[in-house]
Amino acid sequence: MKVKTALILICLVAIVTSAAWINYTYLNEAFGSGPPYYGRTTNMDKWTNPVPTLVVIDVIAALLLLILFRAGFTHSQKGASNGGAR
């Protein structure tokens, strides 16, 4: 049971890290590091707002986190209420 909990924890950390990395990459590319918002002003006709895409990615990540979190705690609560028996 501890192995399953560890795997769920690893998956949770991986999802959070991936979502944060994707958010950082998209926002850095869209707004750039140069003055003022270099990525946006250089090719204004080709620039798109990254926020709608990031919202979709973040909602999917949040749903995956919720599913994993609930699966982990539901499983551990069932085992505890049955005296550890499966």
pLDDT single digits (tens) 49-72: 889 999 999 999 999 999 988 887
Q: What is the mean pLDDT of residues 20-37?
A: 81
Q: Could you tell me the maximum CA-CA distance found in the chain, to the nearest angstrom?
A: 64
* Helix orientation angle between 2-31 and 51-81, rounded to the nearest 10 degrees: 170
Q: Structure pTM?
A: 0.70
Residue 6 tokens, joined: 């560890």
Give the pLDDT of residue 21.
97
Q: What is the mean pLDDT of residues 18-36?
A: 84
Q: Where are the domains of the chain?
A: 2-79
